[in-house]
Structure 1
Amino acid sequence: MIDKIAALEKIARQLEPDDTTRQELTKQVIDHTSDFLSVLDHEQAFFQNTEPENRDTLSEEPESMDQLLQFLRNQVEKDGINAASGGHMGYVPGGGLYPSALGDYLAAVSNKYAGIYFPAPGAARMENMLISWMNELMGFPPTATGNLTSGGSISNLIAVVTAREAKEVKAKDFDKLVVYLSDQAHHSLQKALRIAGLGEAQLRYLPIDDELRVDISSLAQTIKADKSKGLIPFFINASLGTTNTGTIDPIGEMSEIARKYQIWFHVDAAYGGFFQMLPEIRKRTTGIEHADSVTLDPHKSLFLPFGTGAVLIKDLTSLYKAHRYTADYLQDLVDSDSEVNAADVSPELTKHFRGLRMWLPLKLFGLKPFRAALEEKLLLAQYFRNQLQQIEGFEVGPPPDLSITMFRYVPTDGDANAFNEKLIKSIQDDGRIFLSSTSIHGKFWIRVAIVVFRTHKSKIDLLLDIIQEKVQELSS
């Protein structure tokens, strides 16, 4: 047995490269990323890989880092949406700040477990500090808490489950619960309700006005009618930046109604939340401080890499009631009186130390350039819309609340929806800029989501040229 252990150890030690090998591997990766970033501004925003699909496999034998990086470049980086590109203006893109990648590297090397205070006090304090900063940004009290999540879907799930526990609803009443939202709410909310066991809850889709905001003129009457029928008004959802159009719902008025009828009030600010750093946006979101929960996605309007979300919750007791468990093997843990354990306020137990990817760029750059980038994106959306309005044949959506705007071309004859379907396909096939589309009440629209920190005026001017070029091609 001793000889076998020694033989196995010799092979297993291949998992721990020596210092020289580590330095060489690191250099190869850094050189690769430097090459990626140095040409990024001139690369396609969308790649359509014409090579046969490569089904990767694993084997017992090693491959060189050079081979692996070449595969990564050809089969991953140059395939599909170039999500790091300033030309990515489809969906609601993220950013991928470089210092965040360094933060991930440091987190992975140290392998700190940030879920519980006892094994990693510094990591827990760092993540809780970030949560406190976001709570302050939303106007929440110092007693509010939250969690760094993988994204808005898990954040919305945590909010829904916490609301269920806070309102002490029982399974026998799930079909009596009523959720109030608009058809512009992100579908992750409906998904969260189903996962939380509330799939039988009744959804009241509130109408939207001409600006695509929730029309709450009948909300109070709807709530009263539901109560008179023996139903339980449970959850009101407002959006601070809808995914479709970037619209800000009337948060202040909705919060007043929620408080009057003692309904859980949730603000989905996954896309728009960090625009709260701008005074002009904060003026338009008065009332968010009265929310019970808020969803944020730092991987959107804070420009971090995908996989960085957050949920803020005022009521720690209900958050614990929904998520806090312990086990015999954790009996050695010593809790801190002043720090919340991330594992106690989330479905996740083991989780990545994702706070480091957020903390490092915020500390390294300071808040000022983030605020400037956000204001720039607001103005770029307005600039694009203003420029397009001056070109004959184009119809634009409502003035953007944030940095998403939409447009469509209306040909002199033929079906406008069909024309715009061809137009978006033509823009995507071109690849220099990536846009996406949506349909609102039967109208086909093309969306321009200006969120990547690398998107500047030169990209918007290029987009305007491409749109006119493609319209001309399709028209002829």
Structure 2
Amino acid sequence: MESKRNQEQWNPDKRGPKGFAAQMGDEASSEPQSPPRPQPAGGEHGMDEAVVREMGYQFVDMIVEYWKGLEGRRVYGPLSPVGLDEMFKESLPEQGAPLAEVLQEVRTRVFPNTMAIGSRRYFGMMNPAPMPVAVFAEALASAMNQNVASWRHAPSGTAIEKRVIRWLCDLFGLPETSFGTFVSGGSLANITALKLAINRALGRHLSQMDRGGPGQDIAKLVFYVSSQGHYSFDKAVDMLGIGRNQLRKIPQDDIFRIDLRFLEESIQADMAAGRKPACIIGIGGSTNTGSIDKLDKLAELARRYDCWFHVDAAYGGAVILSEMYGPMLRGIDQADSITVDPHKWFYMPFSAGGILVRDGDFLRQSFLVHPEYYMEKTSDGAEEPPEDRRGFHLGDKVNFFQYGVQGSRRLNALKLWMAFKMVGRRQYAAWVEKDIELARILAARIRRQDDFQILGPNTLGICNFRWQPQRPGGGSFTPEETDQLNRELQETVENDGDAWFSYTMLNGRVALRVNVENRCMGQSDIERLMTVIRRTADRILTTK
């Protein structure tokens, strides 16, 4: 009896409840058969040069199409989570579709339902318009698919990350003993910094963990940050096994910097109660207002009370590129660790965060592990983990999984390396300076409006203000009514799609927040935003 396999052409994509036997017929279970010969990927899934090249052209066309359309579309919404979930509700495809068909779905379903972050009408969070060279560097990184956890699996990638880290350390004035690592973003960098602060306060690191845990000592550690500090510090103390009551939120001064007098009083009170001050956190550009703490004064306090000094410069760190505005970060060179996010004001696409540490060896000792498959050899060739004295300087072989939480790591340094090479520090500085100047122009326009008030320090690219109109018939709105009017102003602009900015809370009241972080913006974009704000505010007031 001839089997069905000899009657029908073998179809490796055919699926059925019986799997292999469904195609082989009933005899498949009784007569031994040779399994189908595995076939390598081909066509759009293989490595055919002509096919891959054509695929690349299609992707480039799509990218340019998306960028070109940013200024002619709504910046955002209105969108519905329910509607989008329904749009993408589908079963896992059993059969593949041609690339052109999938790209068309991206064009019609994905592109229209994005936030237009690269638009010159977007003034939202620290999400930049990414540099084209960095976008295409991402494709190169994906094509090489290097794992920058291990030197063996990313030799040139490791050298590039080492070099970019050295550039950043030098920019911030850290010594030759400093080093660091790329991470996913500022949150992981801040968590890493607090872990280092704990290790220093307890006088131990990872390789010493077998000598006993921290016990009650960790419960005595206290950390200090401004009330304007990033939410990642709340996450950090929880993830690191520290109670949230061990994170002191110190009040701010009149321009939203940490109040130094309250800080020192809090430190002294904790010491008198038998607790151990472990870390002082300075903010190098807060998310809310762009405020920069007096970092030099915080460094003095950290030395006086033997605390780790960490600076969260995820946002504002880029001003170090500018000779004009870099001095606003005075004292950052005295930090024990610094968070910096190139995917903010360095105009990198996500993700590209980093942490820099004054004592690079301490960073390594705090994360040093030797897995069985590490393959380190002693001089006589025996495969065993030797005493590891390697460092991170010129000629040293670095395995980045020993410098942080992450194991498998993308070559995120490539895009920043290529951008620095192509752009140079001076052009970067000019872009940052221009963004700061545009934010100040907006503040000047706001001050000309009788019914608006500037609230924040307006030191970096963030401008905070509040709409405080009078009732059309006379009299004032209550503070609560004014809060709602400001929310309505933001929401109306968002729904109209003409621009996008956010609102926040400052001193318990709603404040509008505009962030300028786009190297392609000009003064005309600020004037247009002011026109949108003024027109929308007037329209709302006519309904009250």
Cα deviations by residue, 1:75-116 (Å, 9 ceiling, x for unpaired): 322214212222221122223111111111111111122222
TM normalised by structure 2 equals 0.83
Per the alignment, residue 535 of structure 2 pairs with: 469
Does the 8 A contact of 1:165 with 1:321 survive in 2?
A: no
CA displacement at 1:40 relative to structure 2: 2.4
Runs of 5+ consecutive residues of structure 1 not aligned to the other structure: none
How far apart, CA to CA, are the structure 1 residues paired with 2:222 and 2:113? 43
Per the alignment, residue 41 of structure 1 pairs with: 71
Matched, 1:252 2:282: no
CA displacement at 1:457 relative to structure 2: 1.7
Question: Given residue 410 of structure 1, which amino acid in structure 2 is its aligned partner?
Answer: Q
Between the aligned residues of both structures, percent identity stands at 27
Moved more, 156-165 or 196-205: 196-205
Matched, 1:110 2:118: no
CA displacement at 1:278 relative to structure 2: 1.3
Moved more, 20-29 or 263-272: 20-29
Q: Aligned match of 2:104 in 64, 70, 79?
A: 70
Cα deviations by residue, 1:172-221 (Å, 9 ceiling, x for unpaired): 12221111111100001111121122235512221211111111023223
CA displacement at 1:151 relative to structure 2: 0.5
Q: Aligned match of 1:287 in 326, 331, 351?
A: 331
CA displacement at 1:302 relative to structure 2: 0.3
Per the alignment, residue 492 of structure 2 pairs with: 426
Match of 1:148, SS state, is: strand
Does the 8 A contact of 1:86 with 1:459 survive in 2?
A: yes
Does the 8 A contact of 1:388 with 1:394 survive in 2?
A: yes
Question: Given residue 528 of structure 2, which amino acid in structure 1 is its aligned partner?
Answer: L
CA displacement at 1:2 relative to structure 2: 9.8
Match of 2:500, SS state, is: coil
Per the alignment, residue 329 of structure 1 pairs with: 373
How far apart, CA to CA, are the structure 2 residues paired with 1:70 and 1:458? 34
Per the alignment, residue 53 of structure 2 pairs with: 23
From the superposition, tell whether residues 67 and 333 of structure 1 become closer, same or farther in structure 2 (CA, over 3 Å).
farther
How far apart, CA to CA, are the structure 1 residues paired with 2:192 and 2:528? 41
Per the alignment, residue 163 of structure 2 pairs with: 129
| The structure with more radius of gyration | 2
Match of 1:444, SS state, is: strand
Does the 8 A contact of 2:44 with 2:51 survive in 1?
A: no
Q: Aligned match of 2:184 in 150, 169, 184?
A: 150
Runs of 5+ consecutive residues of structure 2 not aligned to the other structure: 1-31, 204-213, 379-389, 471-475
From the superposition, tell whether residues 168 and 299 of structure 1 become closer, same or farther in structure 2 (CA, over 3 Å).
same
Does the 8 A contact of 2:281 with 2:310 survive in 1?
A: yes
Per the alignment, residue 196 of structure 1 pairs with: 240
How far apart, CA to CA, are the structure 1 residues paired with 2:326 and 2:419? 23
Does the 8 A contact of 1:165 with 1:318 survive in 2?
A: no
What is the aligned length?
475
Match of 1:406, SS state, is: strand
Per the alignment, residue 236 of structure 1 pairs with: 280
Cα deviations by residue, 1:206-261 (Å, 9 ceiling, x for unpaired): 12111111110232232122111100101111111000000011111011000111
TM normalised by structure 1 equals 0.95
Does the 8 A contact of 1:86 with 1:453 survive in 2?
A: no
Match of 1:400, SS state, is: coil
How far apart, CA to CA, are the structure 2 residues paired with 1:11 and 1:383? 56
Does the 8 A contact of 1:28 with 1:65 survive in 2?
A: no
Q: How big is the alpha-carbon RMSD for the aligned residues of Structure 1 and Structure 2?
A: 2.0
CA displacement at 1:332 relative to structure 2: 4.6
Question: Given residue 299 of structure 1, which amino acid in structure 2 is its aligned partner?
Answer: H
The structure with higher relative contact order (CA 8 Å, sep 6+) is 1
CA displacement at 1:442 relative to structure 2: 1.7
Moved more, 173-182 or 249-258: 173-182
Matched, 1:349 2:443: no
CA displacement at 1:339 relative to structure 2: 4.3
Does the 8 A contact of 2:466 with 2:512 survive in 1?
A: yes
Cα deviations by residue, 1:46-93 (Å, 9 ceiling, x for unpaired): 132476631244312111222222222333222142122222211222
From the superposition, tell whether residues 16 and 431 of structure 1 become closer, same or farther in structure 2 (CA, over 3 Å).
same
